Every structure is written in C-alpha cells, then in structure tokens.
Amino acid sequence: MVLSKTFSESDVSVHSTFASRYVRDSAPRFTMPENSMPKEAAFQIINDELMLDGNPRLNLASFVTTWMEPECDKLIMDSVNKNYVDMDEYPVTTELQNRCVNMIAHLFNAPLGDSDTAVGVGTVGSSEAIMLAGLAFKRKWQNKRKAEGKPYDKPNIVTGANVQVCWEKFARYFEVELKEVKVREGYYVMDPVKAVEMVDENTICVAAILGSTYNGEFEDVKLLNDLLVEKNRKTGWDTPIHVDAASGGFIAPFLYPDLEWDFRLPLVKSINVSGHKYGLVYAGIGWVIWRTKEDLPEELIFHINYLGADQPTFTLNFSKGSSQIIAQYYQLIRLGFEGYQNVMQNCHDNAMVLKEGLENTGRFSIASKDMGVPVVAFSLKDRSRHDEFEVSEMLRRFGWIVPAYPMPEGAKHVSVLRVVIREDFSRTLAERLVLDIVKVLAELDTLPPKNSGKSTSLEDGKKEKAEEAGREIASYWRNITKARKMKLAETQAGPSVTVIAK
C-alpha cells in the first residue's frame, strides 16, 4: 500500500520556537498577513522586538510610575476588561472614582463641608485634565462677556514659557492665544510679576506650574494670587488661576504642608494632577478638581441614558479603562497620608544624594531647587570641549536614559541634563549613577573636542566606514534573499514526497 502526503508552507510547524517558519521572515509591518499564526509564535515575535526597548526602571527622563506592588498589578489585570464609561454596569468602579475625587479635593484643601461632594473627574492624564479645565475657563469667560455685551472672540491665557506642551495643544486646539512669560538664566519658571502685567480683559486664566518639567521647581502661586487679587480690584476683572500640579500635586501636601498653592488661595479655581506620576499609578490616569460647582459650567456636562441610567459625563474621550482608577484608589488607601509622605521623603533624600554626588565632581552646576519635585537638573560648567548631549548619549551605554535639552524661551543657550527620582529609584542606584557619570566624564576627557577639526575628520571617517559597512550588509542580505527565493521555487516545482508502507 502506498500513501502519499504533500508538505506545504501552510502546515503547522513542529519545529522549536526559533526554528519555526514564523520567525524566518520579517514581522509584518505595513499589511496584515494573509494567514493566522500560533499564539506562541505571535507572542515570541513581539516579545523579541520589545527587548530592544529601554528598561523603564532606568528611564530617568520620565515622571511616570514604573513600579507598583504585585497586589495592585493583579487588581489592574482583573479589571482590564472593564469600560469605565459603563457606569450603570460597573457602579462600584464609579464609586471608587468618586472616592478618589473627594480624597484628592480634601488633600488640596477644597472648601468642602463634611457631607459635601467634591467636583472633579478622572482623566486619561493631566493633558486631558488641562483641556477640561481650560474649556471651563473659556466658557465662563465667554458667558460673562456675552452678558456684558462685549466681544468674546479673542480669549487668551497667560503662562510661563516653561509649560508642558499640553498647554500649547489646548491653545491651538481650542483657539486661545497663549501668552508666555519668558524665563531667564538662573530663573527658569514664570515670574508672577511679569505674568500679571500680561493679564488683560481677555485673559481667561493664569496657569501656574507646581513642578516645572524642566527643573522640577515650584512656581510662586501665593505671590501670583496676591498680585492678581490687587489687579482685579483695580480693574474690576475677576481673572482666576489654574494650578497645573501634574508633578507636584502629590508631593507638596506631604513634604511642604504649609506651602500655600492650592484652594486655600481664593483665585485658584481648578487644579490638575497626574495620578500616574507621583500619584504612584501606571500611565493612564489624571485628575482635575474644581473649587466649587459654580466653577464648572453646567453646559459642558453631558447626560447620557443609553447605557442603562442617566449618567453625567465631562471628558474629551468616551470609553476608557477602569484599571488605573482602581489602582489609584488602591494606592490612596494602601499608603494613606503616612505612606505617601514616606515615599516622597525618600525620593527627596535620594535626589539630595545624587545632587551632592554631582557637586562633588566639580564639573556641574545644579539648575534644580531643593524644594520642589525630586528632580536633579544639571549642566556642565565647562562646555568648551563637550556638551550635555554627549554625556546623555554615552550614559546609554550603561543602560541609563538621561535626557539633555535646552531651557525654554529666554534661556535657550542653557542646556541641562535631568534626572527624575521616582519611588523605585533607590539610594544604591543614585550612587551608581554618579559613578557612571564620572566614568563618562573621564572618557570624554580623552576624546578630542567636538568642534575641533580633528573631531570633524574623525566623524567623517566614522561616517564613511559606516556607509561602507551598510553597503556590505545590504548586499549580503540581497544575496541571501535571492538564494531563499530560488530554493523555494525549486521546492514548489518538485514532486510530492511519497511514503511507502509495507
């Protein structure tokens, strides 16, 4: 008896993972593949590419949380399939969000009675929170101008040049002029005096930053409030303040409880904070809190009933995950005031260790402040031979991701390196980073200056060798691909395999 079987490319592979036909070709990039593949193969292909990403724990560029306790990880995975917007289906999740809003509002000293409900909402991050707060200010200003019979087509907002890009997005998306106060060397945040000078009758609010992205410094919200109160009194305006506390909102209440920056100041009408920064939750959660119900125009709140009950909503997006909201509630009750205070104090202490280590090298000037977000921003004292960007690039050899960038408008000639100290950045890592920076400096000292003719010729030689190597590699792979195609064509044209059984 003769049995015959034809083996084709569509047969399920019986090879080991890395001998499988699914890893012999490049992963799909532009078009969906025609056929399915085993789940193990899909996982391995993606997992292998992800190995080339940086290590999140060593990403010192980011303010975003990179570690949570395993118990919270489990809560996140157990709720990852819940769509938060289905409030009628997931009422407990909605209740947890409301609890978070109230806890954060009380943390920010909102004028609430024991039984009052805070006004606020969870967002995807501080960017969405800022959009919502900005829209509320714009609508309130427009309504007031309409009632007075005055033009309402040229709103503006006053900020420092050091604001995060989300403020620029708000201004462009919602047609609001952005009036920026330039910084200056040695003073890298908004000057309250200059900010108030820029305020006019079309200003919908002044945005103060509690924790600058550039160096972690807190802006003087108390002085801004006092100056603005006086200007409002003289002009008859009622220009308010929004505090962008994305980074500092979960730091100041625990480390600097006497610092007045929040709803204790009468002109502060709304505050945003990032739960996924020092709120200690993975990326994807922010909060915006309003002082009172009157500060959030009712016409911006939508009521929907097609999910089972009347549900008020004020967000830019509709569907979103429940996991991060649940994780935020976990952190608030798990750590409590004491736990958050311990975490923030430890971050601050580690920042001081890093700062002291850098100062001891004698090579750096520190651009950050001791009071603020636990960030260490520093620049080279001598940039005649090498600059901060070279230090940043060479630190990647040790696994560290430390950004280098110029300061904002008014001090663009100043470049800094910035290290963000997060909960999972230990004292040992701080000391290790200093050692690696010293190694980088020693190596840079042996290299020719970046602007010398010798350096240029050296770079040209490297570029020429790289291009030659690239041509050789491209030629090699073309030949390999051609050989594979020829072999495949011969296989498809050949006879089927015949198995003879006796």
Describe the crossing of helices 126-147 and 165-173 by its angle, rounded to 10 degrees. 40
In a domain, 493, yes or no: no
DSSP code per residue over 18-63: GGSGGGSSPPP-SS--SS---HHHHHHHHHHHHTTSPPGGGBTT--
Per the structure, how many domains does the chain have?
3
DSSP state of 415: E
Among the three residues 333, 365, 393, which one is the final residue of a domain in this structure? Answer: 333
Is residue 142 located within the same domain as residue 215?
yes
In a domain, 415, yes or no: yes
Asked if 162 and 208 sit in the same domain, the reply is yes
Question: What 8-state DSSP symbol labels residue 300?
Answer: G
Instruction: Give the pLDDT of residue 27.
Output: 85
Query: Is it the case that residue 303 has pLDDT exceeding 80?
Result: no
402 and 325 together in one domain: no
What would the pLDDT profile of 318-373 be if each residue is shown by its tens digit? 888 899 999 999 999 999 999 999 999 999 999 999 999 999 999 999 999 999 99
For residue 340, being part of any structural domain is answered with no
Alpha-carbon gap, residue 374 to 419, rounded angstroms: 9
Shared domain for 105 and 184, answered yes or no, is yes
Whichever domain contains 386, its CATH number is 3.90.1150.160
Q: Are residues 146 and 20 in the same domain?
A: no
Q: Which two tokens stand for residue 154?
A: 């040229």
Mean pLDDT value across residues 95-103: 95
Q: Strand ranges (DSSP E) for 64-155?
A: 119-123
Q: Is 80 exceeded by the pLDDT of residue 226? A: yes
Q: Which residue has the higher pLDDT, 467 or 134?
A: 134
With H, G, I as helix, E, B as strand and everything else as coil, classify residue 349.
helix
Q: What is the pLDDT of residues 395-411, one digit of tens each?
A: 999 999 999 999 999 99
**What is the rounded CA–CA span in Å between residue 176 and residue 202?**
10
Closest C-alpha to 134, from 156, 105, 116:
156
Strands 156-160 and 203-209: parallel
> Residue 77 pLDDT more than 60?
yes
| 150 lies in some domain | yes
- The residue from 404, 430, 446 where one domain ends is 446
Classified as helix, coil or strand, 278 is: coil
Give me the phi and psi of 452, to 5 degrees please.
-80, 160
**d(C-alpha 334, C-alpha 324), whole Å:** 15
Q: Is 467's pLDDT higher than 90?
A: no
Does residue 26 sit in the same domain as residue 142? Answer: no
User: pLDDT grade, residue 24 (50/70/90)?
Assistant: confident
For residues 9 and 484, the model is more confident at 484
Residues in the chain: 502
- pLDDT at residue 7 is higher than 50: no
- Which structural domain, as residue segments, surrounds residue 26? 13-53
Please, are residues 223 and 192 in contact by the beta-carbon 8 Å criterion? yes
CATH code, 76: 3.40.640.10
Instruction: Mark whether 103 and 233 lie in a shared domain.
Output: yes
Same domain, 355 and 425: yes
Q: Mean of the pLDDT values across residues 18-34?
A: 82
Among candidate residues 333, 360, 384, the one where a domain is terminated: 333
Question: Residue 47 sits in a domain of what CATH number?
Answer: 4.10.280.50
Confidence of residue 5 (pLDDT cuts 50, 70, 90): very low
* 122 and 234 inside one domain: yes
Domain annotation covers residue 488: no
**pLDDT band at 26, cuts 50/70/90?**
confident
> Do 291 and 364 belong to one domain?
no
Least confident of 16-20, 38-42, 138-142, 422-426: 16-20
- Residue 71 CB-density burial (10 A; 0-12 exposed, 13-18 middle, 19+ buried): exposed
Q: Which of 51-60, 116-125, 261-270 has the highest mean pLDDT?
A: 261-270
Residue 191 lies in a domain: yes
Report CA-CA distances (Å) from 248 to 88, 126, 259: 34, 12, 12
For residue 149, count CB atoms less than 10 angstroms from its CB and return exposed for 0-12, middle for 13-18, buried for 19 or more: exposed
| 297-311, 314-328, 481-495: segment of lowest average pLDDT | 481-495
Contacts for 108 with CB less than 8 Å, ≥ 6 apart: 245, 249, 253, 262, 263, 271, 289
Which is higher by pLDDT, 461 or 125? 125
**Domain assignment of residue 495, yes or no:** no
Are 119 and 178 found together in one domain?
Answer: yes
Q: How do residues 274-296 score in pLDDT, each as one tens digit? A: 999 999 999 999 999 999 999 99
The pLDDT-based confidence of 41 (bands split at 50, 70, 90) is confident
Confidence (pLDDT) at 114:
78
Which pTM does this prediction carry? 0.84
Chain segment 101-131, per-residue pLDDT in tens:
999 999 999 999 878 899 999 999 999 999 9
Across the chain, what does the average pLDDT equal?
A: 88
Q: What is the pLDDT of residue 20?
A: 74
Domain for residue 8, yes or no?
no
How confident is the model at residue 454, as a pLDDT?
A: 47
Do 114 and 255 fall within a single domain?
A: yes
Of residues 329 and 8, more confidence is placed in 329
